[in-house]
Amino acid sequence: MKLLETIKFENGHFANLDLHSERMNNARKQLFEAEGKIDLSSALSHLGSSAAFSNPVYKCRILYGLQIEKLEMLPYTFPTIESLRIISCDQVEYGFKYADRHELDKLFARRKNCDDILIVKDNLITDSSFCNVLFYNGKKWLTPEKPLLKGVQRQYLLDNELVETANISVYDLHNFEKLRLVNAMISFEAAADIAVDSVF
């Protein structure tokens, strides 16, 4: 069983490193009964000091189990997501950021002519195939109470009281003006607005 941690590297800085470290070490403790913690800042220090990076934004991809097994720095291009297909699946589980995304990939393959999917579980909206979802009702931003994966950017926004959690069903979509998709690589500010009528 392999896990992933994906960290944004921009302008010589790793974003939200404390939150990534917390999630990574919690996963190691729960899944592998790890006793010690990995010092993520130390593990990445040689990467952050490199002057070889020419791209504005990089994805630092960490493959790990009990210990870190592989580190990669990959140039990152922001995806263009303008439409979403609602896909229902009550069996899907992704409570940890597993390297094996087979079940999510199967759901994503059902998107037809849309750019991504909105996954509905037990009648509630959870996540897209690779992002947490934020909905704007004209007054405030809300994010699903029970996402498939509690992402780092989502946690950052909650910690800073920029969003609130709520149970959101497909039948609630008409109450919202727009939505945004966020993850470790896509901050709230960088996320594009998606019209609710672009959800099918």
More confident residue, 12 or 3: 3
**Same domain, residue pair 95 and 67:** no
**Same domain, residue pair 101 and 65:** no
**Same domain, residue pair 117 and 49:** no
Distance CA 99, CA 12 (A): 26
CA 125 to mean position of chain CA atoms: 15
**Same domain, residue pair 128 and 54:** no
**Same domain, residue pair 184 and 92:** yes
Q: Which CATH number fits the domain that encloses residue 55?
A: 3.30.470.10
**Same domain, residue pair 116 and 184:** yes
**Same domain, residue pair 128 and 178:** yes
Q: Which CATH number fits the domain that encloses residue 96?
A: 3.20.10.10
Closest CA relative to residue 103, chosen from 148, 58, 42: 148
Total domains in the fold of the chain: 2
Distance CA 160, CA 16 (A): 13
Residue after which a domain boundary falls, among 49, 75, 101: 75
Half-sphere exposure of 182 (CA within 13 A, CB side): 26
**Same domain, residue pair 45 and 91:** no
Given this model, what pLDDT does residue 52 score? 62
Residue 147 pLDDT grade (very low, low, confident, very high; cuts 50, 70, 90): very high
Given this model, what pLDDT does residue 55 score? 82
186 within 8 A of 152, measured Cβ to Cβ: no
Distance CA 91, CA 162 (A): 31
Q: Give the DSSP letter of residue 68.
A: E
**Same domain, residue pair 69 and 129:** no
Residue after which a domain boundary falls, among 32, 47, 75: 75
Given this model, what pLDDT does residue 149 score? 98
Angle of helix 17-32 relative to helix 152-159, nearest 10 degrees, comes to: 120
Interval 85-117: pLDDT, tens: 999 999 999 999 999 999 999 999 999 999 999
Domain that holds residue 50: 3-75
**Position 187, amino acid:** S
More confident residue, 61 or 55: 61
